Chain A
Amino acid sequence: MRAVQSQVPGRGPLPVVGEADLDGKFVVTVMELSGEDGLLGCIQCGTCTGSCQLSSWMDYTPRRIVDMVRKGLAREVLASRAIWYCASCYYCTVRCPRGIKLTEVLYALKSLALARGYAEPGAPAPAFYRTFFEVVGRYGRLYEPGLMIGVALRSGFGRLFRLAPLGLGMLRRGKMALLPERVRAVDEVRALMERVSRGLVRR
């Protein structure tokens, strides 16, 4: 069994994975879903990592994520903490010398992690994304109290208590609607969501 190692230095060692556990088609899946078909042209220069304001919080830096995607380390990428730290600031995207829109790649990775069940339901970012999806499905627009309560239900009520002062502060300043606004043709919004997300969202 040949071990796959990263050829370039970065944060910590890359997981050692046997050939049988590699997903040879992963890079193709990611390129198709993200629309970024230039991933194989990445030169591993690290501009993305150097530009990322969150990279110090990640278990694998953005450059490494690309390296791992290309090597087929699907499980390791999709189970990583790194992908949930992407704030979608697009610095990597505008600075990449190869024109790779890494932000789009990260959207695709988060989506795959949710769809394939790698994202723990109680983890804060997946809980936030799932709840956001449900709230917009219900009303057609965001309803902040619904989002806060939904996230708390998923990730523990401790969070609700921590968020409560903020919510009350918003309410007092007229920054939060008590009642949700519902799109009149919310059925249209639901139909669009249903159509596009079919098979991708695992509840």
Chain B
Amino acid sequence: MTMRRYWYYPGCSGHASARDYQRSVALISPALGLDLVEVEDWNCCGTTAMTSVEPRLSVVLSARNLALAEEAGGRADLVVTCNSCYAILRRAQEQYARRREVRAEVDEALAGIGRRYSGTVRVRHLLEVLVRDVGLDALRERVRRPLSGLRLAPYYGCLLGRPRNDFEDPEEPLSMDRLLEATGATVVRFDRKSKCCGGALITTHEEAALELVREVLSEAAAREARAVVTACPMCQFNLDAYQAKVNAAFGTRLRLPVLYFSQVLGLSLGFGASELGLGQRFVPVGGVGKL
């Protein structure tokens, strides 16, 4: 099997609240011919929090990560697994390419720390790499344990397709639907697939964010999904860790495990539930992990 080489940016959550995500990615990647190497000494991308403190801040912080990948060389694509990192790093990549004054500011700031960037790194989400570079046919061929009969709700959240990019549709994304179908699972219709989970509002305006979480989970339940599948640590956290609070606040009886697409894919490739980190969640996976 030829290995495809990429730089990998786990993001802060990849080393903390989404360690199970990272674990499953580390497990499935080599099995699918992906050689992901973590960028040395990466820093926080800045996310929406820093962008709100100063709109340029996350561009400059992200640019350091892009510069580190470029300096190390040998691989053109930087693979990201967090949707927020993805949107913020892409925003940096685009502003750097399109806006002269931003480029000047970034160049100057990087020069101040003895680094330079020339704009060659391409930021990509792991989901895109799986669907486009590995390909659905190759994925299908590697499935050892088809997840037949498992009904899954694909939840993309905001930042995979928004703002516009060359990968996903801003409102009707399909890549995860296709990937989950390749595992043999049944993908339910899911109209709220690209709605917002509340993001950081879960910390700052919990009441408002809980309503958004409820909307997503209750559609999944109404469609009789056994689990919700995400591609983002923020979405996973809000839907999983706050599910009990949603039930308490709205009198619902939701009990939906929230998995990462990499974990579902891992199950179908024959990996075990615990090595994929399926135990590390608030709502237990139950029967979903025993398939």
Chain A contacts to B: CB under 8 angstroms: 33-35, 53-54, 57, 84-85, 87-91, 93-94, 101, 103-104, 106-108, 110-111, 114, 124-125, 127-130, 132-133, 136, 140-142, 144, 151, 166, 169-170, 173-177, 181, 183-189, 191-193, 195-197, 200-201
The answer, among B43, B49, B87, B281, for a CB contact under 8 Å with A132, is B49
Chain A facing B: main interface SS: helix
A-B contact pairs, 8 of them (CB 8 A): A53-B212, A84-B205, A94-B162, A94-B171, A128-B200, A141-B15, A142-B12, A142-B47
Judge if B19 is at the interface, Cβ distance under 8 Å.
yes
Q: Are A142 and B44 in contact (CB under 8 A)?
A: yes
B92-140 contacts to A, CB under 8 A, are: 95, 99, 102, 105, 109-110, 112-113, 115
Q: Are A90 and B52 in contact (CB under 8 A)?
A: no
Give CA–CA (A193, B113) in the complex, Å: 11
Interface size class on chain B is: 35 or more
| A130 contacts across to B, CB distance below 8 A | 53
Q: Are B204 and A124 in contact (CB under 8 A)?
A: yes
Give CA–CA (A142, B88) in the complex, Å: 15
B215-257 contacts to A, CB under 8 A, are: 241
Q: Given A87-B201, A90-B158, A128-B203, do A189 and B61 touch, yes or no (CB 8 Å)?
A: yes
| B48 contacts across to A, CB distance below 8 A | 88, 107
Q: Are A133 and B199 in contact (CB under 8 A)?
A: no
Chain B contacts to A: CB under 8 angstroms: 12-13, 15-20, 41-44, 46-57, 60-61, 64, 87, 95, 99, 102, 105, 109-110, 112-113, 115, 158-159, 162-164, 170-171, 195-196, 198-201, 203-205, 208-209, 212, 241, 279-282
Give CA–CA (A103, B51) in the complex, Å: 11
| A197 contacts across to B, CB distance below 8 A | 53-54, 57
B84 to chain A, nearest CB (A): 9
| B102 contacts across to A, CB distance below 8 A | 35
Q: Are A136 and B159 in contact (CB under 8 A)?
A: no
Give CA–CA (A114, B61) in the complex, Å: 20
Q: Are A33 and B241 in contact (CB under 8 A)?
A: no
| A84 contacts across to B, CB distance below 8 A | 204-205
